[in-house]
Amino acid sequence: MVLFFVVNIVYGAPSGTSCGPGRYINGGAGDNMDEKVQGCPNKQSWEACCAACGSALQSSNSIKSGWHCEKDFFSTGIWLKGCQKTNTCGI
């Protein structure tokens, strides 16, 4: 318990919107979001992690169907993009 407290003070607890065990996006969830997915488990691909995050947010009615995942040009992470980014809401 003390170690967890110290780690959170030193490194800070993850902030943002939770989308599964340990996974989160930096900002708020919504159909116009373009947020990096954080907290992907080491043995899970970015694509699978992002898909699980998107599915969790859709299941909780935080986002509509039509969202998608996209890696950046330099492969530094994966972003969850809401359906309004590509006009695919409800598809």
Lowest mean per-residue pLDDT among 5-9, 25-29, 51-55: 5-9
DSSP string, 1-33: -HHHHHHHHHH----SEE-STT-EESS---TT-
Q: Tell me the per-residue pLDDT of 44-78, one tens digit each, with 9 for 90 and over.
A: 999 999 999 999 999 999 999 999 999 999 989 99
Segment 16-36 shows an average pLDDT of 93
Q: Phi first, then psi: give them for residue 84, nearest 5 degrees.
A: -70, -20
Q: What are the domain boundaries of the chain?
A: 14-85
Q: What is the mean pLDDT of the chain?
A: 85
Amino acid at 73: F
pTM: 0.80
